[in-house]
């Protein structure tokens, strides 16, 4: 579910009774309803949004007519007329998410309350040109809509999460590691032309942070999300707002130095995250130490299976395998402490495709290490948790990009309206 536990967050956005603010006010109302697990009455909405009762009534009438919300019974609290509870209509809107990883591309069809109705994974096509691969993704999306038998007019759009760096303004994948040939590819435009649907694109780490924020699983207003996939990056949420940076590329943490005596990085320094903590680095070390068999160039093992085998060896008592994961946890705690000390967040959330294999070691070591490395220990603690968004559902985070755009009040719109 996209709704979060009640309390505190309901007043994160307040509306305005000034003219020309209808779209913003509608987003405020939708956001308030979304955030309430049990639903809200019109009176409660007026209080949480800071809007006049008549304004709320008019907006709710429009939302009911468009079937974005629905009446969900009445509630009596004290004397007076029972209040009608309003909730999101699950069938009022849908979104499709596409998560592109160098190894796998995943798809998810999500309804308005965050239920995954259909999902699929396919190997990422790096053999053909990016344009051919993206057109094939569009075909998968169209097939998913047909299978679900959903009115295409109800689909708010397609959210795409890709490895960084990205050019969000132009909807381009710039030059992601491990994806040769994907240089300044106009992914957004190609997918829009193929599907006929609106497309919103963002970095995979940002999409994951959006998913954590929207599901309420982080339960913190300020947190960093450390994504462990084929690459490693970080998403950032401050005061319940996902931070994207000037170009949409916040969270490129690959060149944080975590081991001064480590291998040389392509940036010219030694011991960066990129050459010490990446899953492929852990697998290479495991091969060197004999934990994993040498790679067969004629029949290479996929990286996910290699990481699973490494984790299984550690769990079964292989000291060399356990040492590899332990050193990785120490280095990652060092990197996380740089972020938490600089940003003063309350929580670190780990996730991504390879998180399940690393979770046992990381959760056993990182919390104590982060406490030791933290400069805010005497002020507040920094919690360390794993994502509650299921592994393999990274496409859900991509779909949340669409929901974020559809539901979240955009303060920038107020500036645009003010200039109109």
What pLDDT, in 10s, does the model give residues 387-408? 887 655 679 989 999 988 887 7
Please indicate whether residue 334 or residue 14 has the higher confidence score (pLDDT): 334
Rounded Cα–Cα distance for residues 305 and 292 (Å): 11
Do the domains 92-209+395-406 and 224-235+245-387 sit in the same CATH topology, yes or no? Answer: yes
Over range 299-323, report the average pLDDT.
90
Rounded Cα–Cα distance for residues 380 and 95 (Å): 38
Pick the CATH number of 92-209+395-406 from 3.30.420.40, 3.20.20.80, 3.90.650.10, 3.30.565.10: 3.30.420.40
Tokens 């996910």 sit at which residue?
304
State the pLDDT at residue 390.
Answer: 67
Please indicate whether residue 413 or residue 162 has the higher confidence score (pLDDT): 162
Under a CB-based contact definition with an 8 Å cutoff, are residues 391 and 355 in contact? Answer: yes
| Residues in a beta bridge with 264 | 270
pLDDT digits (tens, 9 = 90+) for 47-84: 888 889 999 999 999 999 999 999 988 876 666 678 89
State the pLDDT at residue 62.
Answer: 93
State the pLDDT at residue 392.
Answer: 54
Rounded Cα–Cα distance for residues 191 and 12 (Å): 34
Rounded Cα–Cα distance for residues 223 and 305 (Å): 30
Over range 95-109, report the average pLDDT.
92
Rounded Cα–Cα distance for residues 234 and 224 (Å): 7
pTM, two decimals, is: 0.81
pLDDT digits (tens, 9 = 90+) for 20-53: 345 788 888 988 888 887 889 999 999 888 889 9
Fold classification of 9-88 (topology level): Arc Repressor Mutant, subunit A (1.10.10)
User: Given this structure, which CATH class describes domain 224-235+245-387?
Assistant: alpha beta
State the pLDDT at residue 297.
Answer: 64
Domain ranges of the chain: 9-88, 92-209+395-406, 224-235+245-387
């Amino acid at each position: 579910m996209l709704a979060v536990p009640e309390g505190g967050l309901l007043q994160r956005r307040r509306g305005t009774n000034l003219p020309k603010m209808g779209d913003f006010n509608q987003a405020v109302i939708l956001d308030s309803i979304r955030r309430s697990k049990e639903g809200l009455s019109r009176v409660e909405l007026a209080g949480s949004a800071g809007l006049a009762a008549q304004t709320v009534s008019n907006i709710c009438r429009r939302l009911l007519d468009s079937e974005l919300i629905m009446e969900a019974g009445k509630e009596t609290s004290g004397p007076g007329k029972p209040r009608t509870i309003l909730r999101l209509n699950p069938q009022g809107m849908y979104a499709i998410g596409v998560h592109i990883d160098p190894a796998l591309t995943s798809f998810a069809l999500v309804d308005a309350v965050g239920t995954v109705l259909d999902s699929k994974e396919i190997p990422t096509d790096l053999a053909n040109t990016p344009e051919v691969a993206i057109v094939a993704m569009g075909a998968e999306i169209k097939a998913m809509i047909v299978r679900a038998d959903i009115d295409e007019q109800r689909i708010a759009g397609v959210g795409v999460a890709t490895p960084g760096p990205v050019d969000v303004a132009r909807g381009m994948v710039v030059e992601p590691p491990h994806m040769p040939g994907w240089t300044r590819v106009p992914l957004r435009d190609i997918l829009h032309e193929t599907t006929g649907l609106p497309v919103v694109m963002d970095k995979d780490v940002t999409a994951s942070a959006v998913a954590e924020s929207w599901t309420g699983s982080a339960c913190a207003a300020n947190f960093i999300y450390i994504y462990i996939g084929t690459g490693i990056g970080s998403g950032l949420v401050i005061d319940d707002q996902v931070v994207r940076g000037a170009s949409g590329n916040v969270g490129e943490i690959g060149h944080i130095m975590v081991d001064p005596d480590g291998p040389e990085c392509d940036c010219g320094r030694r011991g960066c995250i990129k050459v010490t903590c990446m899953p492929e680095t852990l697998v290479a070390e495991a091969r060197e130490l004999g934990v994993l068999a040498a790679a067969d160039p004629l029949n290479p093992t996929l990286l996910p299976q290699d990481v699973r085998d490494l984790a299984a060896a550690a769990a079964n008592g292989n000291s060399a395998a356990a040492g590899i994961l332990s050193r990785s946890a120490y280095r990652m705690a060092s990197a996380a402490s740089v972020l938490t000390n600089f940003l003063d967040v309350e929580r670190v959330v780990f996730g991504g495709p390879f998180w399940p294999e690393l979770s046992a070691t990381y959760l056993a070591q990182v919390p104590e290490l982060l406490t030791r490395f933290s400069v805010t220990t005497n002020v507040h603690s920094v919690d360390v948790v794993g994502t509650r968004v299921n592994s393999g559902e990274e496409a859900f985070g991509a779909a949340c990009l669409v929901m974020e755009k559809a539901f979240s009040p955009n303060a920038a719109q107020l500036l645009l309206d003010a200039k109109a």
